[in-house]
Structure 1
Amino acid sequence: MNLRYVLQSLRRRPAETIAAAVSVALTVAFLILLGSFTAQTGARLTLRAAARVPVDWQVQVTPGSDPAVTATALRDIPGLLRFRAVDYAKVPGLSSVSADGGTRTTGAAYVVSVPDDYRSFAPGEIRLLVGAADGVILQQQTASNLSAAPGTTVTVLGARRTAQVTGVADLPNADSFFQVVGAPPGSGASAPPDNVLLVSPARFTTLTAGATVVHQFHLRLERASLPTDPAKAADEVTRRANHLVAAVAGGALIGDNLGTSLSAAREDAIYARLLVLLLGVPGLLLAGVVTALVVSLRNDRQRRDLALLRLRGVSPRRAAILIGGTALLDGLIGAAVGVGVALLAPRFGPYGDPSTTWLIAGALTGVLLALATELTPLARTLRGSAPTVQAGVNPLPPTRTPLALRLGLDVVLLTGSAIVFWLTARGGYQVVVVPEGVPVASVNYAALLAPALAWPGMALLIWRVTVLALNRAARTPDADRSGSMPDLRHDVVRRRRIPIARGVTGLAIAVAVTVSAAVFTHTYDQQARLDTALTVGSDVAVTLPPDSTTGLDPAIAAVPGAAAVEQVSHRLVYVGPDLQDLYGIDAATIGRAAPLQDAFTPGSSIKTALGRLAATPDGALLSQETLHDYQLRTGDTVQLRLKDTGGAYRTVRFHVVGVITEFATAPRDSFVLANRSYIASATGLSAVQTLLVRTDRPASVAAAIHAPAAALVNDITAPRVAVPSASGLAAGSLSGLSRLTLAFGILLAAASAGLVLVVGATQRRRSTTALAILDASPRQRSGFLWTEARALTIAGAIGGLAAATVIAAELIKVLNGIFDPPPQHPAVPWLFVGAVLAAAIASAALATTLATRWAGRVDPSRLRDL
């Protein structure tokens, strides 16, 4: 009998079952995809952090130890792929004879022994520019200093041995390649050496005779077996390194490049979890609310069925089983559809295949949600607490203000959110704190209270304002010549203010969840593009190594599609004992090609700072760190040392005109910005090492530029250098979460608007039937539904946009650390916002149209409801 009742219910009312199953499916799919995103983001971040490391470990043999013992111990490391021996020797310098007969000599240099297959062993370490890969290779900067090319003979000072250059190469990861292994963080060399000679092991001994040799082994580890979480993977790599150090009894030190990169990715993993918490969870809760709303469409019908079952003598327990069977069917169908959607989603978006655990968890959640939603409203009647069966079937709409509003909970929550937001702002919005050199990260969860309190506070405030707006005093009845019954419609809306306010709140939160997520992700995308442009330099950039004397001809960038070309002199300068990058620019015009933001110049706008620089020929903008370390202030004189035409460093005087934190192609630590013309006149070198090109077609313009062999042509669409960012989420993690939230957000916003009105129409079927008996026309009856629809849609849209503004502002400020550089203002995707509102309005119009047609029918079944 139980199964027969459920099947008959499905046959007679298929629309209700389909609507309930679809809503459950949305929640199930959303939960599975959100959970899978959370689980897989860590794995993606781990793989991405590992992929940036060309050499996982640099194992350096300590003086007096036997390299053969260390090599034997390396073979027992778990997960070892392969290793190669690399030797370093520091020599007094290198010299060469130029074509004009002049001799060029460098300062101290490094001669490095690399195996013949090293480029295939570590593809990211050596990038050949010209010549052959085997033989003697000069670093690009060294070749520039010696004015050498393939075929040039170079003398190694000290051993006084000569070698013929076969190629010129760039060392993209020179910082790690020449790191001081075993030194505490921050205590190593401030910059990699300028002069490097790469040779084969066979020639290394003769070229470095008498020099101290440092023996290293470069290792590659198998990464697939590492834990998926970056922090756990870093701990695992560190434990392996400690085991090796113990195995060789202090005979070697380890430069753990892989562990360092994985430790840096732990901040990204924390931000990913916070994004799920602040962007995904509100959407998931909203999906549950919409599902409960849809499933509740059965409640009125089931109250009536329950009344009939009780009249026929069915026990409450038996009635609960019968009605629970229908709810179980809704949940099972919805769970099956939701699991299917989650399995298909990876084919259409940046999602991985969901795990079995999340599939089971999502399905169980959908079934339990359907059961709870359908059975909970019937509990009163099953317990017999309803005064009569008729009262249980046809309850009157509530008119009493909810307890939370009577207690002023909305004011309390919003006040608390504002206080927390102010305290967070005063502290600099550091929600994730990662101390430098410390392998742990802490989360300031108190900062998350601002948006956490704002969500329920805004929902209750929207409810309160809607009730107050709809509870206006009824107008004095007047002659209704048009027959539209405006006074009666106003009074009906006033009496139904609580159900309408509930619907307005649901629609507003749906709009707020979707729009706030869209604003956040759009702002992130904008700043990510700016971050890439800062690293590249502009839409297209042509670069030579710093201090290159050959320079670049601006004419090579005058290709079709180039809107503006700016010249930048990239020099190396000593600030005290620190070697920093110096960028010579044309301050008045640099903004034509370089990306600029006020965030680059704290305490001033970028326009004002560049204006001061342009007005001061010997002016310089310095980093905050440099100003602090050397106790400098605006207006002070600073002595810097630059290379002149003879290659020697000379002192040049500059005046500090301000502070700058970031600039195109500049490193993220210390650098100096000055006037290009002043640098050229002070040093006698006018060579330009960088060309910045503004264009709307970066890929085609980059392909059209014919740069010298030693130059690197880079564009914003496919940067050939690593693009760092404050968060590693730029590549795919955030896009996956945003697509998930925005796609479901539009569906939920439309569902919230339409389904609330459908529920309201079903709740008012008795009143529409009564109006029909009183000879009200279909147009007059539909007027009541359209009046309610207009009130709900307008109030929901306005409330949703207001809530989205507050939530988006708090999200961007609280998660300020994920942006690099911080945004000047939120970026609003107006087209998407319009699409969300259009979807809600269209859904409300469609639902009201269908409801009015349904309300226009009067048949015996409707009369029995009276």
Structure 2
Amino acid sequence: MTTRYVLQALRRRPAETLAAALAVALTVAFLVALGSFTTRTGARLTERAAARVPVDWQVQVTPGSDPAVARDALAATPGLTGFRAVDYAKVRGLTSKSADGQTRTTGAAYVVSLPADYASFAPGQLRTLGGSLVGAALQQQTAANLAAAPGDTVTVLGSGRTVAVTGVAELPTADSFFQVVGAPAGSGASAPPDNVLLVAPERFRDLVGSATVIHQFHVRLNHGELPSDPARAADLITLRSNHLVADIAGSALIGDNLEVALSAAREDAIYAGLLVLLLGVPALVLAGVVALLLISLRNDRQRRDLALLRLRGVTPRRAATLLGLVALIDGLLGAALGAVLARALGTVSVPWLAGGTAAGVLLAVVTELAPVARLLRGGPPTVQDAATALPATRSPLPLRLGLDFLLLAGSAMVFWLTSRGGYKVVVVPEGVPVASVNYAALLAPALLWPGMALLTWRLSALVLARRGRRPGTDPSGRLPDLRRDVLRRRRRVVARGATGLAVAVAVTVSAAVFTTTYDRQARVDTALTVGSDVAITLPADSGGTLDPAIAAVPGVTAVEQVSHRLVYVGPDLQDLYGVDAATVGRAAPLEDAFTPGSSVRAVMANLAATRDGVLLSQETLHDYQLHTGDAVRLRLRTDQGAYRSIGFHVVGVITEFATAPRDSFVVANRSYLAEATGRPAVETLLVRTGHPARVAAAIRPPTGAQVNDTTSPRVAVVSASGLAAGSLSGLARLSLTFGLLLAGASAGLVLVAGAVQRRRATTALAVLGATARQRAGFLWTEARALVALGVIGGLVAGGLVAAQLIKVLNGIFDPPPHHPVVPWDFVAATVLAVLATAAATTAVTARWTGRVDASRLRDL
């Protein structure tokens, strides 16, 4: 009997089974895809953070210890791909004599011993600017200070030994290369040394003489063994380094560069999780609600089946088993279909696949059996119970209690309290292996969602509760007064449906606004790192110059010249950028967030109007107690090769600029810089184009210059935000695709549910003599009211939620957005999809409910 009942139920009502399976499949696919995206995001962040570290560990031998002890311990350490010995010694200085007989001497310098294969062992640690690194190479700034080039001779002060220069090199990661190993976070040197001589090991001891030597081993680890989560990967690396320290019993200290990079990625991983929580979970809940609504369409049929089964003497447990097996098959079919759909969307995580499948089956069983359980507890139902039930008109309990106002007030209060002090949702203290999350800030959007849903319900009910004009004549037979009165009596049902549609639209719109804003700021972030769509760069103060003609390739709309120099602000060496302030915005990204307290255009206009004007960082202004209008003297290298003090006037503060580092830097007028130093060289060209990759490939730079563009492999672009480097394209596509489907499905299903509920009413109208057009008019009136209220409520709620999400997650943006960016084309597409689905659904259901046959009459 059991098998026969289940098979007959599936055979006689295949449309209901298919609808239930599709609803479950949609929820399962979204859950699996969302979870898999979270897992992949963590793995990408870990991989990207590790790839940016040229040397994972710097193992420094403690004074008086035998380097062989550390070497032997490293050789026995698992997970290593190799290590190299690197020695340092600080000497009094370096001196050189130019061809014109002029002698130049530097201050204190470092002589560094590097093995011949070090550049290939640690890619990214060294960059050859000229000559060869095999032999003796000068750091680029040291070569500028000594006016030395390959072929010149340099003398090491102290030992008095000389060495022939074979090349000039740049140390892109000099901060970590010369870190104070073993020092607490933040207590090391504020800047790497300006003067460095790189030599072969066989010359090192002879050149440094009696200077104190620091022995280090630079280590590379196997990144393929790291866990996918950055926090777990950082913990694993920390445990390995602690184990090594214990093995060598204090003979060495470890500078753990990899752990530092992974710890920094923890913040991005937490933000990724928060994005999934705040963008993905509402859509997931909506998917579950749509599935529940679709599955519940068979509840009326189940009530009648249950009544017939009870009349035939079937026990409650047996009846529940029969109906439960049908629900289980719905769930299994939907889960299987959802797993296939999720797999088609991309790589899936096995744990999330298993969890999503189980959740889909549970959703189907619980949704279909919950009404049955209520009926079984209430005694044997009768077949005609549903026919005499009238829709409730009383407001639901949450609205009578004013819960919507309480939730919205709570959201506003939490938002104000957490945002007034310039808070950060995620805080990762430097040197502390624990990240803290200000979950209180997340209460604001968490309270806003249900608050806006309930407010939409309240306002929809109030609009529908209005009484129309007094009944009048109806010569056209359209029954407007009766339709309006029926709509008012069904206001609770219609308002509930409008609320569901509003939530669906709000989920889609909020995700679209947030991801569009994020994508724009991510492009600004990447363009800041690169400099523009395409950037051609020479090292600062390299002595070379770039001709703007090399950027004259098809597809280029603007080219800006930038002079990149090194400048001493007091004792601090900083980057200085000479720009054409009036036109630099044609190619460089400029945001008001770069100039606190003023618009960036006003600041750049002020700089252009002040010939000797200069923009300084907030840190520099604070450290040297400078203010706008103050005169300041900066030391720059002139055409004679020596540094000379040059006067400037402070015209403003700047926090970000194209190609500039994230700490202190200086921006000045290029023309004044060339006049004051006698050096008009251009070290950077910023190129604006709509086709970065194609233009970058067409440019032929001179020797020593680099060409980069915003579409380069993201690992090569050290973006300020790890998530900006990875972009949210995956989560955006996932949320927007499913959101659009759910918005249309919500509109259609709410209207189908309403038509099913009114099937007996339309049959009764037919018996009373109403035409098919008159009966359909009731459905069209209800559909217009429901869709209008739902779309308007959804657009307002989605805009408010998106604005709050952008403010709450402000720390993920660098620089922060000035205002949300609304994708009007996508919003219009969402509204059109809802309208089209509603129109098609209403037309189909009007024809379906308009049929009057023997089975419909028996239902009365």
TM over 0.5: yes
1:560-616 Cα offsets, whole Å, 9 max, x none, are 333222222222222222222222222222212211011011111111112222222
Instruction: Show the counterpart of 1:701.
Output: 695
Instruction: Show the counterpart of 2:632.
Output: 638
CA distance in 2, matches of 1:553, 1:190: 35
2:419 is aligned with 1:425: yes
2:107 is aligned with 1:113: no
Could you tell me whether the CA contact under 8 Å between 1:343 and 1:354 is conserved in 2?
Answer: no
Which of 350, 354, 364 does residue 349 from structure 2 map onto? Answer: 354
CA distance in 2, matches of 1:454, 1:726: 30
CA distance in 1, matches of 2:335, 2:696: 51
Instruction: Show the counterpart of 1:25.
Output: 25
CA distance in 2, matches of 1:246, 1:576: 43
Instruction: Show the counterpart of 1:349.
Output: none
Instruction: Show the counterpart of 1:617.
Output: 611
CA distance in 2, matches of 1:544, 1:410: 60
2:249 is aligned with 1:249: yes
CA distance in 1, matches of 2:573, 2:154: 26
Instruction: Show the counterpart of 1:585.
Output: 579
C-alpha distance 731-14 of structure 1, shift in aligned 2 (>3 A)? farther
Which is worse superposed, 149-158 or 736-745? 149-158
1:741-767 Cα offsets, whole Å, 9 max, x none, are 112111111110001111111111111
Within 5 Å, give how 1:431-470 maps onto structure 2: 431-470=425-464
Could you tell me whether the CA contact under 8 Å between 1:398 and 1:498 is conserved in 2?
Answer: yes
C-alpha distance 733-562 of structure 1, shift in aligned 2 (>3 A)? closer
Could you tell me whether the CA contact under 8 Å between 2:52 and 2:715 is conserved in 1?
Answer: no
C-alpha distance 170-319 of structure 1, shift in aligned 2 (>3 A)? same
Could you tell me whether the CA contact under 8 Å between 2:536 and 2:707 is conserved in 1?
Answer: yes
What SS does the aligned partner of 1:642 have? strand
Which is worse superposed, 1-10 or 649-658? 649-658
Which of 582, 601, 605 does residue 607 from structure 1 map onto? Answer: 601
Within 5 Å, give how 1:553-572 maps onto structure 2: 553-572=547-566
Could you tell me whether the CA contact under 8 Å between 2:331 and 2:362 is conserved in 1?
Answer: yes
What SS does the aligned partner of 2:817 have? coil
C-alpha distance 429-504 of structure 1, shift in aligned 2 (>3 A)? farther
Could you tell me whether the CA contact under 8 Å between 2:522 and 2:725 is conserved in 1?
Answer: no
Within 5 Å, give how 1:124-273 maps onto structure 2: 124-132=124-132, 134-273=134-273
Amino acid at match of 2:349: P
Instruction: Show the counterpart of 2:510.
Output: 516
C-alpha distance 224-790 of structure 1, shift in aligned 2 (>3 A)? same
What SS does the aligned partner of 2:255 have? strand
2:324 is aligned with 1:324: yes
Which is worse superposed, 703-712 or 592-601? 703-712
Deviation at 1:407, TM superposition (A): 0.9
What SS does the aligned partner of 2:385 have? helix
Instruction: Show the counterpart of 1:479.
Output: 473
Could you tell me whether the CA contact under 8 Å between 1:634 and 1:656 is conserved in 2?
Answer: yes
CA distance in 2, matches of 1:588, 1:786: 59
C-alpha distance 259-372 of structure 1, shift in aligned 2 (>3 A)? same
Deviation at 1:93, TM superposition (A): 4.1
Could you tell me whether the CA contact under 8 Å between 1:141 and 1:545 is conserved in 2?
Answer: no
Deviation at 1:144, TM superposition (A): 4.5
C-alpha distance 696-362 of structure 1, shift in aligned 2 (>3 A)? closer
Amino acid at match of 1:400: R
What SS does the aligned partner of 1:566 have? strand
C-alpha distance 394-574 of structure 1, shift in aligned 2 (>3 A)? farther
Amino acid at match of 1:854: W
Could you tell me whether the CA contact under 8 Å between 1:417 and 1:451 is conserved in 2?
Answer: yes
CA distance in 2, matches of 1:195, 1:510: 62
2:657 is aligned with 1:663: yes
Instruction: Show the counterpart of 2:334.
Output: 334
C-alpha distance 637-128 of structure 1, shift in aligned 2 (>3 A)? closer
Amino acid at match of 2:573: L
Deviation at 1:701, TM superposition (A): 2.8
C-alpha distance 52-281 of structure 1, shift in aligned 2 (>3 A)? same
Could you tell me whether the CA contact under 8 Å between 1:380 and 1:386 is conserved in 2?
Answer: no
Which of 746, 751, 759 does residue 753 from structure 2 map onto? Answer: 759
1:413-469 Cα offsets, whole Å, 9 max, x none, are 111111111112202141112223333221111111110000000000110111111
1:35-57 Cα offsets, whole Å, 9 max, x none, are 23333432322222111111100
Instruction: Show the counterpart of 1:803.
Output: 797
CA distance in 1, matches of 2:86, 2:743: 61
CA distance in 2, matches of 1:651, 1:225: 53
CA distance in 2, matches of 1:803, 1:319: 43
CA distance in 2, matches of 1:675, 1:856: 77
Could you tell me whether the CA contact under 8 Å between 2:140 and 2:542 is conserved in 1?
Answer: no
2:360 is aligned with 1:366: yes
Amino acid at match of 2:417: L
Which is worse superposed, 124-133 or 609-618? 124-133
Could you tell me whether the CA contact under 8 Å between 1:138 and 1:198 is conserved in 2?
Answer: yes
Identity %: 73
Instruction: Show the counterpart of 1:836.
Output: 830
Amino acid at match of 1:408: G
C-alpha distance 564-104 of structure 1, shift in aligned 2 (>3 A)? farther
Deviation at 1:126, TM superposition (A): 2.1
1:36-94 Cα offsets, whole Å, 9 max, x none, are 33334323222221111111001111222211111112123232221111122334444
Amino acid at match of 1:171: L
2:780 is aligned with 1:786: yes
C-alpha distance 228-698 of structure 1, shift in aligned 2 (>3 A)? closer
1:538-579 Cα offsets, whole Å, 9 max, x none, are 122222222233333333333333322222222222222222
Amino acid at match of 1:64: G
Could you tell me whether the CA contact under 8 Å between 2:744 and 2:837 is conserved in 1?
Answer: yes
2:61 is aligned with 1:61: yes
2:686 is aligned with 1:692: yes
| CA RMSD between the two structures | 2.2
Could you tell me whether the CA contact under 8 Å between 2:88 and 2:215 is conserved in 1?
Answer: yes
CA distance in 1, matches of 2:5, 2:714: 66
Amino acid at match of 1:341: L
Could you tell me whether the CA contact under 8 Å between 2:134 and 2:166 is conserved in 1?
Answer: yes
CA distance in 1, matches of 2:533, 2:135: 37
What SS does the aligned partner of 2:190 have? coil
TM-score calculated relative to the size of structure 1: 0.95
Amino acid at match of 2:34: L
Amino acid at match of 1:427: G
Instruction: Show the counterpart of 2:741.
Output: 747
TM-score calculated relative to the size of structure 2: 0.96
Report how many residues are paired: 860
